[in-house]
Chain A
């Protein structure tokens, strides 16, 4: 069933709020990755506030759905969702990337409640997610594993090792989501290392492929529902996104992959986000 309008409005509101928080905490930290956090905002928020079966009071509940941020540099948006969902105090966000704070530069499962897997070195998330999904099948547990990947990330060879394995073991409880923003650190994906026909590549590895507008919460939620209805093979949702989405001067710019936000840019970004974009 499609997401009703009230829920859409609610999720959109959260995404606006979270973008604001993101700019605040990255400005304060003077490091971190704005571009990829902004492109993944609707995807992560739709999962944590609508689709995933989780209980922040029981972060280690065995039957919970798992979310893995393969593109670990998107950590700030994950942390905002976890905090706002109640896994740890929202106040902790103010200490992102600071000495002594559990909010590491990249997600650390040992330190931060709700983080399912330590990520950062790209490509490992899908593989570990396949392991979790295989564990669910072997242990006869009913949960889903969601793995969010960057499109630069799928240049890593292990992605395709994992893709083969997920297909072999028929992991229909594994749902990949590709944050397809077309930009990586050194330039556009097409400049740095073209991916060619992304849909055909995943299909060739035995995956069912869905597509969605990654900035439309309704489309993301609908795609997740469709993915869950597919049996016998893993599914990937190719989510079309814009790197830096919501802050016009960051949009589509590889320079904002991991750049510290200066005072003028901070003011401009906040003014734009306050305008409700």
Chain B
């Protein structure tokens, strides 16, 4: 599999980055709804107890309180499982935070199926589509630790609401920031190719790189693009890829309805129609199991990306 690992879960990198930012910025406050050990907001809580607020198991109240905090000059980061950001916090996120463009950062951890054993109730496959549809919100979805720390800082510095989608686990390092620069809204070409483009976000980025390896061994040159910002999406880069390769495969650990694939297809339909295929969770609920078995069953694999890419190239 592509990329090395640092031994730190993405959520741990997030918690540590919050501490770094908290030292620099007195107006950063953090809220959690009784899952701070899971979200790793507890790392911030240990260092800055006076700027950490645990509201108990009341996610909706957490979101609405953060709106109030932001109106008096604080920059709240609110934390819960990715599925609950939309299912439990939707009203205050839309009616208070998005509507009035409040400077609140919503952080959803355990994205996709990464909380695998907790089952479909805790899997997040309909969060990207919700936040994409909210005016004023940005949607960020980093793919590894180094990208997460850069994303968290960029999210803080951006004036306005952001949804930051984080994975539960440690992910292979693929973002290559020795070579690349993190900029909100700018996708990154991780590998060049001329036959087909694989556009992935979050967890699926390293799977796309693995798929490109397989395709290369079969004589197909695949370009791999990391989209860490799903909204605003990097329209220019997507159009360029559609022009320079024969088609696009999108890959995301999310429903194929309304997520990254939809965002890419909207750009293509409006600007440069091109063949596009979607890797993601189909119109189905998921289930309990070990992570790899779930990824296999629901098609979130390098193999699935390879098969869809080959159909486009054929």
A residues within 8 Å of B by Cβ?
A: 62, 66, 108-110, 116-121, 124, 127-136, 138-139, 141, 145, 157-158, 161-162, 164-165, 168-169
A-B contact pairs, 18 of them (CB 8 A): A117-B96, A118-B99, A119-B95, A127-B60, A129-B68, A130-B61, A130-B68, A131-B64, A131-B71, A133-B68, A134-B68, A135-B69, A138-B50, A158-B58, A158-B64, A164-B56, A165-B56, A165-B61
A169's closest neighbor in chain B, by CB? B53
Chain B residues positioned under 8 Å from A133 (CB to CB): 68
> Would B95 and A124 count as touching, CB distance under 8 A?
yes
Partner of B72 from A124, A136, A162 at Cβ < 8 Å? A136
> Would B73 and A62 count as touching, CB distance under 8 A?
yes
> Would A158 and B61 count as touching, CB distance under 8 A?
yes
Given contacts A118-B95, A120-B95, A121-B91, contact A135 B64 (CB under 8 A): no
A120's closest neighbor in chain B, by CB? B95
Query: What sequence of 0s and 1s flags, for each residue 59-85 of chain B, a beta carbon within 8 Å of any chain A beta carbon?
Result: 011001111111111100000000000
A119's closest neighbor in chain B, by CB? B95
> Would B65 and A130 count as touching, CB distance under 8 A?
yes
Main secondary structure of the interface of B (DSSP, over half): helix
> Would A110 and B61 count as touching, CB distance under 8 A?
no
B residues within 8 Å of A by Cβ?
A: 29, 50-51, 53, 55-56, 58, 60-61, 64-74, 91-92, 95-96, 99-101
Q: A110-B100, A138-B29, A161-B61 are in contact. List 16 more A-B contacts (CB 8 A).
A: A62-B72, A117-B68, A117-B96, A118-B95, A119-B95, A124-B95, A128-B71, A131-B68, A135-B69, A135-B72, A145-B68, A158-B61, A158-B64, A161-B55, A162-B61, A164-B58
Chain B residues positioned under 8 Å from A138 (CB to CB): 29, 50-51, 69, 74
> Would B71 and A124 count as touching, CB distance under 8 A?
no
Chain B residues positioned under 8 Å from A132 (CB to CB): 68-69, 71-72
A129's closest neighbor in chain B, by CB? B68
Partner of A127 from B56, B65, B70 at Cβ < 8 Å? B65
> Would A131 and B66 count as touching, CB distance under 8 A?
yes
> Would A127 and B64 count as touching, CB distance under 8 A?
yes
> Would B67 and A165 count as touching, CB distance under 8 A?
no
| Shortest Cβ gap from A145 to chain B (Å) | 8
Chain A residues positioned under 8 Å from B74 (CB to CB): 135, 138-139
Partner of A128 from B56, B58, B68, B73 at Cβ < 8 Å? B68
Chain A residues positioned under 8 Å from B58 (CB to CB): 158, 161, 164-165
> Would A134 and B65 count as touching, CB distance under 8 A?
yes
| Shortest Cβ gap from A137 to chain B (Å) | 10
Chain A residues positioned under 8 Å from B61 (CB to CB): 127, 130, 158, 161-162, 165
B91's closest neighbor in chain A, by CB? A121
Chain A residues positioned under 8 Å from B99 (CB to CB): 108, 110, 118
| Shortest Cβ gap from A70 to chain B (Å) | 11
Chain B residues positioned under 8 Å from A158 (CB to CB): 58, 60-61, 64
| Shortest Cβ gap from B303 to chain A (Å) | 45
Chain A residues positioned under 8 Å from B101 (CB to CB): 110
Residue of A66, A109, A135 ringed by the most chain B CB atoms within 10 A: A135
> Would A128 and B72 count as touching, CB distance under 8 A?
no
> Would B91 and A124 count as touching, CB distance under 8 A?
yes
Chain A residues positioned under 8 Å from B29 (CB to CB): 138
Chain B residues positioned under 8 Å from A169 (CB to CB): 53
> Would B67 and A117 count as touching, CB distance under 8 A?
yes
| Shortest Cβ gap from B85 to chain A (Å) | 16
| Shortest Cβ gap from B273 to chain A (Å) | 36
| Shortest Cβ gap from B151 to chain A (Å) | 25
| Shortest Cβ gap from A64 to chain B (Å) | 10
Residue of A116, A129, A130, A165 ringed by the most chain B CB atoms within 10 A: A165
